[in-house]
Structures are given as C-alpha cells and as structure tokens.
A and B are shown apart, each in its own frame.
Chain A
C-alpha cells in the first residue's frame, strides 16, 4: 500500500508539475482585443514597444466585430463630400450634450485626433466606403467600415501588430495585475491549455477589457437594470477590471451609463436582427418595425412618446425603460402595404435603411406569430386581448390616433404631421419589443494620456492605463448619438494615446 501510495502521489505530482509557467519581459501588455485593445497593440508595436495582447475569448475582436462605422471630423472623405462639420463644432456639441459632466481636455484631444486616426487606419489597409448619418439631415460623421462591419478593422490591426512582432494570446485572461509600491509592473495570465504566464511590463499595462455588460451581478451593483437584451457578444465583457480599479484606488465615474439601443424583437437575440443593407433578412426587417414612427403603446395601453424620436436611442431608451423596458409597435393593413411598397420611413441603424421596401414582411408576420413576438387580429379589441393590455384604454388610444390622422395634428406629442397615421384598416398588427444594450460606458477617470487616476490625490497610478468603453468621463448619462460612431472612435483613439504615452515615456 505504501508503495502504491508513493507511486500515485508521484504521478499526481508529476502531472501538476507539467503545467508550464512562463515569465516574459515586455514593454507593454494590452488586455482585451476589441477596438481599443487592437488599436493600442498595433500602435505600441509600431512604435517599437515589445507588446503582448491578451484576449480571454477564443477569437479576437470583442465588441469591435459589431461596429458599423466610426466617428471623425475634418476627414478627407468629408471634405470630398462638402461636409463642413468641424472639430470645434463636435467639441462644443459633446460638452453641451453632456452638460459638462465629462473630461473636457480628453474629449478635445480625441476629437482633434479623430481625422488622423482615419488616415492611420487607412495606412494599415482599413477601408471606408461611405460617410453616413442615421437621421434626416443628420451630422455626417459616421465613416462606414467595409461591409458595415468592424471585421476588416480587426484583421488589419492584427496584421500590423503581428507583422511588427507582436504576439496575441487567445483564451488567455489576465488573472491578476502585479501591483507593487503603488505601481503596476506586470500581469499574470493563464491560457486555455493550462500554461501560466507572468508578463513583466516595463512600460505599462493597457486595460481594454470592454466593461461589464455581460455580468448581471455587476450591472445590479452599479445600478443598471438587468432585463436588457444584449447586442453583440454574449460573454466576455465580465468586468474583469473592476477588481483592479478597487485594488489601485482608481476614481470611478459614470458607472451607471450604458449604450442602450431601443427595442428589438421581444426575447430574441438581437444579433439575429443585424444585416447588411443589401442583404436584409426576415428578422432585421421585422426589427425595423420597432423603429417606425407610427404608434408605440406601453403595457397600460397608452402611447408614451413622440414616436418620430425612434432613431435617437438616447431619448427613446430611457422613455422605454420608464414604461417597463418594452413596448408594442402597432400598425394596420394600410401601413403593412405602405412599408412593403413604399418602404420604411426610419432606418434600423444601417442594417435596414430608410426607404427599404419590406419584401419579407408577410413572411415575418407568420414567423412572429409562431415565435410569439407578433400578434394579429381583425379587431382592435381582439388585438388588445392578444397584446395582454386593457381593451378600453387601447381602444381610446386608437380612437384618438385616428382623430389626429384626420386633423393632421398629434394632440399628445409634437410629432411631425407626416408621421401621423390612422389605424383603421384591419387586420391590425402589434410587434412586441424589448430594450437592448451594447456596452457599459463607465470606468476610471484618466488624464489625457489614458493613465488611470487615483481617487485620493487624482495622480496617475504608475504603469496603469485604461482605454475604450471602460474609460470614465467620456459620457454623462447616455451615449451621444449626435456624434455618430463616437464609441468606436474614442476606443481607437484612446488606444493610440496610451501607446504613444508609453513610447514617449520610454523615449523610443
């Protein structure tokens, strides 16, 4: 028995000792491979800094794969289209939109560098095919990536990074920061195959973990409701960095702010409702119904908003939250015909464009009834019952709407009269929508070099940088959709700022 136990013990010991522990000396560790992490890594390596990029998921790209386009002003593309928006305009817009509750010097630096970053990306092979807006006569700041997706951007950053000698570790979450004498000097990580790494980072650690939208416990902790659907990755953005902010005494701000994007087909993964504008799908067309400016009804059977606010997520999101985080978009058979033959009046982002004729609408109506997010009835009473709302209240809402249509005046909300339509031709339809969100937008306060500042004295934590959507002081209470594409633009630019500061510090 003794012999056997020795043999077993030895075999167990040898098994556990197989796990390799590597120690590597580098200049920079970037944690996370979304837009900010990819830009930081590519910029750092380009500047001659020995850099490793750690990604927790099996693939790289994070939320960046879901970017459609990115903000910039005073670009060559805009110049060629006679778009006269300026950096000064953008800065003033953002400061006013957020009532000054943001980091002014950092915002100025980001906006002033936004055009340069478009050129920088183009030099790396990233292509932009248009500059668009989501609003009628909106501000054309949104530089659309190839195919309306961030995929090419991620690929080109990866190519640049690895060509210059950078190394990517996938399925390798950073488990700990090495924090000594109030300085961050490295990172400990473990890969998917059990090897552990200690990276000593001479220049700094750039945290780009993408916030905590996939972590319901943290959402609750910071005051964000947990009944949103999630657009984009369903895992990975787990707030891995929160413990590091606590450990280093960082000052946090805007933790309650997130990028809400109003409603999607109830209970259904919003990723099914994204599409290429030239390849729309049943689900993307049906999701576009929830953006149309006709009649939105809450659980109490009443309207609650000027529906033409639909494209302004920062206005509709909170209004929808207030009525239970969901609503019904209601229309009659005339509107069904109109959306099929004349097309829709409001874009569903750039997935289904304004004017797109919903050729898959009838198919979608069948699918929706089967899947439970659409109801249909030949009477208003019948529709109300199927919607599960008070019949008398809803009937009154419809009676009122039909009067507004005849008079051309919305008596409840100041809606543009071209969107005031009647509800009088059966059958009637109601699509059930639920609010969704993309990313959290709060995090540590930084200086303009993206160094994390300490709560106690507002001085930088040595060696610690944060970039992307988990930087505090970029937003007040909501995303600023009037600077279209700003989340990815800030991510890309902040990534560059951190890398540039480390390079300068190390005098490369």
Chain B
C-alpha cells in the first residue's frame, strides 16, 4: 500500500506540474465561463484530448465563420472538403492554436 501511495503521490505531483496554466486565450474564455476539465475532457483529471462531441454540447454542430476566396474557390475552414476534422486538430486551448489546413495550404487565418 505504501508503494501504491508513493506512485499515486508521484503521479499527482506530476499532474500538479502539468496543470493547465490557462495562458491561452481559449482556455481563459472557457475558465471565465466556468467550464470545468470534466466538461471537455470527460474526467476531472484530464487524461486525453477534449472530445469533439463535448465541444458540440455547448457550441452546436457548426460555428459560422467568415468565408474567403482563394483563386477559383471559396474557402470555409469549418467546412473542410477533406472529411470531418476534429475541433482540437486546430483549437489547442492549452497551447497556441494552429490551422491544420496549413499542413498543405497557405491560408492567412487567425483562429482562437
């Protein structure tokens, strides 16, 4: 049991170090709205990424955003022609967000 205690304490300490700093703008917005770890991650102590289905619980299925023109096509980064992309592919919350599209494209888009 002592052994288990030390593992558990060590794990807790490690976790304590990694507690989200809420440095990101998106994290702050969620914190201010009283969103808890559980609401996004499904557990009080997050063990994995936030679930898209849990994002949709509050935000709905589709958030309308501004479209823009690139050459011959109209682009809406919330309506990918390459399959359904998980919210957290771009919106990182506890670290700077990145536009996943730009793995291949070169769009100039600011995202929360």
Question: B43 touching A5 by the CB < 8 A rule?
Answer: no
Q: Would you call B65 an interface residue if the criterion is a C-beta within 8 Å of the partner chain's C-beta atoms?
A: no
Residue of B at shortest CB range from A62? B82
Q: A21 to chain B: closest CB distance in Å?
A: 13
Q: A3 to chain B: closest CB distance in Å?
A: 11
Q: A440 to chain B: closest CB distance in Å?
A: 20
Q: 29 A-B Cβ contacts within 8 A?
A: A5-B1, A5-B4, A5-B9, A8-B9, A9-B4, A12-B11, A12-B45, A15-B45, A15-B47, A18-B42, A59-B82, A59-B83, A59-B85, A59-B100, A60-B82, A60-B83, A61-B82, A151-B82, A155-B81, A168-B83, A193-B49, A193-B50, A193-B52, A194-B47, A233-B104, A235-B103, A276-B71, A276-B72, A279-B71
Q: Which B residues between 16 and 75 are near A, CB-CB below 8 angstroms?
A: 42-45, 47-52, 71-72
Question: A2 touching B86 by the CB < 8 A rule?
Answer: no
Q: Would you call A508 an interface residue if the criterion is a C-beta within 8 Å of the partner chain's C-beta atoms?
A: no
- Residues in B with CB closer than 8 Å to A276 are 71-72
Pick from B5, B89, B106: contact of A2, CB below 8 A. Answer: B5
> Per-residue CB proximity of A348-387 to B under 8 Å, as 1/0?
0000000000000000000000000000000000000000
Pick from B48, B82, B86, B104: contact of A194, CB below 8 A. Answer: B48
Q: Would you call B84 an interface residue if the criterion is a C-beta within 8 Å of the partner chain's C-beta atoms?
A: yes
Q: A129 to chain B: closest CB distance in Å?
A: 13
Q: Would you call A58 an interface residue if the criterion is a C-beta within 8 Å of the partner chain's C-beta atoms?
A: yes
In whole angstroms, how far apart are the Cα atoms of A155 and B73 in the complex?
16
Residue of B at shortest CB range from A1? B5
In the A-B complex, list the 8 residue pairs whose CB atoms are closest, starting with the nearest: A194-B48, A5-B5, A60-B83, A59-B82, A8-B8, A58-B89, A9-B8, A279-B71
- Residues in B with CB closer than 8 Å to A74 are none
Q: Would you call A80 an interface residue if the criterion is a C-beta within 8 Å of the partner chain's C-beta atoms?
A: no
- Residues in A with CB closer than 8 Å to B43 are 14-15, 18
In whole angstroms, how far apart are the Cα atoms of A63 and B1 in the complex?
52
Pick from B8, B71, B85: contact of A58, CB below 8 A. Answer: B85
Interface class of chain B by DSSP: loop
With A171-B86, A193-B52 given, name 15 new contacts (CB 8 A): A2-B5, A5-B4, A8-B8, A8-B12, A9-B8, A12-B11, A15-B43, A15-B47, A58-B89, A59-B80, A59-B85, A170-B85, A194-B49, A233-B104, A235-B103
Q: A52 to chain B: closest CB distance in Å?
A: 14
Q: Which A residues between 6 and 58 are near B, CB-CB below 8 angstroms?
A: 8-9, 11-12, 14-16, 18-19, 33, 55, 58
Pick from A18, A155, A168: contact of B47, CB below 8 A. Answer: A18
> Per-residue CB proximity of A373-410 to B under 8 Å, as 1/0?
00000000000000000000000000000000000000
Q: B40 to chain A: closest CB distance in Å?
A: 11
**Residue positions of B touching A, CB distance < 8 A:** 1, 4-5, 8-9, 11-12, 42-45, 47-52, 71-72, 80-86, 88-89, 100, 103-104, 106
Q: Would you call A416 an interface residue if the criterion is a C-beta within 8 Å of the partner chain's C-beta atoms?
A: no
In whole angstroms, how far apart are the Cα atoms of A15 and B11 in the complex?
12
Q: Which A residues between 281 and 321 are near B, CB-CB below 8 angstroms?
A: none
In whole angstroms, how far apart are the Cα atoms of A5 and B5 in the complex?
5
> Per-residue CB proximity of A466-507 to B under 8 Å, as 1/0?
000000000000000000000000000000000000000000
Q: B3 to chain A: closest CB distance in Å?
A: 10
In whole angstroms, how far apart are the Cα atoms of A159 and B81 in the complex?
11
Q: How large is the interface on A (under 10, 10 to 19, 20 to 34, 35 or more residues)?
A: 35 or more
In whole angstroms, how far apart are the Cα atoms of A457 and B71 in the complex?
55
- Residues in B with CB closer than 8 Å to A158 are 83
Residues A192 and B86 in contact in the complex (CB < 8 Å), given A15-B47, A18-B42, A276-B71: yes
Pick from A2, A278, A279: contact of B1, CB below 8 A. Answer: A2
Q: Which A residues between 53 and 112 are near B, CB-CB below 8 angstroms?
A: 55, 58-61, 65
In whole angstroms, how far apart are the Cα atoms of A272 and B102 in the complex?
11
- Residues in B with CB closer than 8 Å to A271 are 104
Q: Would you call A234 an interface residue if the criterion is a C-beta within 8 Å of the partner chain's C-beta atoms?
A: yes
Question: A193 touching B83 by the CB < 8 A rule?
Answer: no
Find the residue from B5, B49, B83 having the highest chain A CB count within 10 A. Answer: B83
In whole angstroms, how far apart are the Cα atoms of A279 and B80 in the complex?
22
Q: Would you call A147 an interface residue if the criterion is a C-beta within 8 Å of the partner chain's C-beta atoms?
A: yes
Residue of B at shortest CB range from A281? B71
Question: B49 touching A192 by the CB < 8 A rule?
Answer: yes
Residue of A at shortest CB range from B15? A12
Residues A8 and B100 in contact in the complex (CB < 8 Å), given A14-B43, A61-B82, A170-B83: no
- Residues in A with CB closer than 8 Å to B9 are 5, 8
Q: B57 to chain A: closest CB distance in Å?
A: 14
